[in-house]
Amino acid sequence: MARLPGVEAPEQVVCHVDMDCFYAACERLKEPQLEDEPLVVGMGYEDGEEHGAVATASYEAREYGIESAMAISEALEKLPRRATADDPEDTGVYRPVDMAFYEEVSADVKSVLDEFADTVRNVSIDEAYLDLGDPSWDEVEAIGRELKTDIEEAAGVVASVGIAPSMTTAKLASDADKPDGLVVVEPDEVREFLAPMEVADLHGVGPVTARELREMGFETAGDIAEADEATLVEAFGERGRDIYAQARGEDDREVEPKGRPKSLSSESAFVEAADDTEAKREKVRALADEVAERATAKGALYKTIGIKVVEPPFEVNTRARSLSGPVDAPDLVEGISLDLLEEFEDATVRKLGVRVSNLSFDERDQASLDTWEGDGSEAENARDHDIRERHRERSSGGQASLTDFE
C-alpha cells in the first residue's frame, strides 16, 4: 500500500533475539550445579537409554563434537554419560526434553519482548524478531543491552541479540558472536558486515548447497554479492535469488506478528524537532489516515485509539481513549488523535505516532457511535480514560523506555 503524503517510509530497526542453547539453559535453571558442565538434552531420549536424538548441546558438550540432530548413541560414543564412566573429566550429563518447563521459561522471555516493543514476531520457543521503531543508531547498542539484561533478570536465561536494518541481517548478526552476543549492524555497514561471511553461514544454505557454491567459486557472501544474480538463479532457481539477496543485505520485509495483530500503528519523525501546532496536527492527520486505512484493509475493528508523542531527546509520552465497543471509523481515529494531541500543543516534538488497539476481527457489529456521541455520558467517560505509559508518567521527567507505547 502506498504511503500517504506527509508520512515517510520508515527506516527499520530490527532486533533478532535468539536464546543461547535454550533447552540446556533451562535444565541449568532446574539444576544450577550443571553450570559449565557438558550437557546434552535429547529428544525422544529417556534417562539411561541410548535412543533418541540430540535436541540441544551446551557449548561445553559441543567441544566434544556433539551436534543438534545427532543420534544419542553417536553422542554417547563421543561423550560418555557421566553415570557410567570412571573419569568425570571426559563425560557429560544427559537429560530428556522437558517441554512443559521450557514453555514456562519461554513465556517469561516473551513477556519481556512484548513489553519492550510494539511489534514482536515469535518464530519459535527460543527465537523472535522485534521492530524497535526508529531510535537513532547511537541509541541502539544501549537498547540491546537493556533487552538482554531484562531477559536474564526475568527468565534466568541468556540471549544473543542482533540489531540491523532488516530481518535477514539481524538474524545473521545474532549468530555472529554467540554466546551472550550483541552485534549491531548499522545501515551503511551491512555489506561490510556480510562480505567476509562464509557461504555456509548464510541461512538456508546447507552442506550440499555450500559445496556447490564453493565449486562455482563462491567462498563468501561478498563473492555472491558481486556476482550476477542470473548465475545464482540458473543454478538454484528461486532459492538462488534468495541467497543473492541475503548476501547483499536486501530484505524489505517488515516485522509482523504471526497470526492477527493486537494493534496497528504508524510513526513519523520531524526532520527537526517541531513546536508549530499546525505542523503537529498535519502530521497526526496523515498518520491517523494511514493507520485507519490499514485497519480497514485488514478487516480490523478497534476499541482503543491512541497517540505517541516523543519530546527531545527521547522522552516518550502516550495517551489513549477507549470506546464503548469496536469500530471501523477513520474520522473517529483522526478526531480522537487530534483531541489527545491538544495536551501537547505547546510542546516541542521530535516524533509523533498514532495507534489503534484492542483489535477485533470476528465481531463485525460495530458499537453505535450514538452510544457515546449522543448524550455525552459515554464520551465524557472516554475522555477521562487516558492510558499512561506503563513505566513512567510524563510528569516524572525521566527518560521513557521502548515499553511506553503499549
Which has the closest alpha carbon to 221: 186, 264, 173? Answer: 173
Q: Is 201 exposed, middle or buried (0-12, 13-18, 19+ CB in 10 A)?
A: middle
**Distance between CA atoms of residues 139 and 319, nearest Å:** 24
Asked if residue 269 lies in contact with residue 133, where contact means CB atoms within 8 angstroms, the answer is no
**Distance between CA atoms of residues 71 and 66, nearest Å:** 9
**Distance between CA atoms of residues 316 and 392, nearest Å:** 9
Asked if residue 220 lies in contact with residue 172, where contact means CB atoms within 8 angstroms, the answer is no
Residues 6+ apart with CB under 8 A from 353: 265, 266, 267, 268, 287, 307, 308, 309, 310, 405
Three-state SS at 186: coil
Q: How far is CA 345 from CA 163, 270, 274, in A?
A: 35, 16, 11
Q: Which residues are marked as active site?
A: 127
**How many residues are given for the chain?**
406
**Distance between CA atoms of residues 175 and 183, nearest Å:** 9
H or E stretch at 316:
strand 315-327
